[in-house]
Amino acid sequence: MSGPFLPSLPRDAVVLDLYKLDLELAKPLLRIQQHIMRGPSELTPAERELIAATVSDLNACRFCYGVHSRVAARFGVVDPGRLAPILAYVSKLTETPSRMTRADAEAVYAAGWSERALFQAVAVCALFSFFNRFVDGTGIDAGAVDFDKVAAGLHEIGYEGRLKL
């Protein structure tokens, strides 16, 4: 990409710049992000951020992958073995959603995850499928962004805290 497709955005635009275009849209989006990514959950913030990064990588969204893989790292190590069935589930859901089966869910439950954890993983997957298109559809250029700076902000103040910026 060669910069945002929306002429009013700076070359190094991030999602926060998109929000500034329509604060009435931004408010509910940030609240839902905060709830899904930082609200009460069996899944830790690191695990949810890793799910976000996985979905973004599969969707080839360089911006979201770059940011959320770094946010996950800031939250700490994730047990990849325990999370593997959830990552397999969201990977299949991302790549071939119409092929999901009860057996896919049963594999998650067999690994010790609850129905609520699976539901929350699906919510993260759906959220980032949306945001991957939100970012790529507006032309946010991953090459122009300081991923570590954006990740630090999300790690420190979360999503809804960005409303105050």
- Structural domain includes residue 61: yes
Number of domains the chain is built from: 1
User: Region 79-99: what's the mean pLDDT?
Assistant: 97
- Structural domain includes residue 136: yes
pTM, 2 dp: 0.93
- Structural domain includes residue 9: no
Q: What angle do CA 96, 101, 105 make, to 5 degrees?
A: 105
Q: What percent of the chain has pLDDT over 70?
A: 97
Query: What is the structure's pLDDT at 101?
Result: 98
- Structural domain includes residue 7: no
- Structural domain includes residue 6: no
pLDDT tens profile 14-65: 898 999 999 999 999 999 999 999 999 999 999 999 999 999 999 999 999 9
CATH number at residue 36: 1.20.1290.10
- Structural domain includes residue 87: yes
- Structural domain includes residue 113: yes
- Structural domain includes residue 96: yes
SS3 of 44-88: the string is CHHHHHHHHHHHHHHCCCHHHHHHHHHHHHHHCCCCHHHHHHHHH
pLDDT tens profile 74-88: 999 889 899 999 999
Average pLDDT of every residue of the chain: 94
Residue ranges making up the domain that contains 31: 15-164
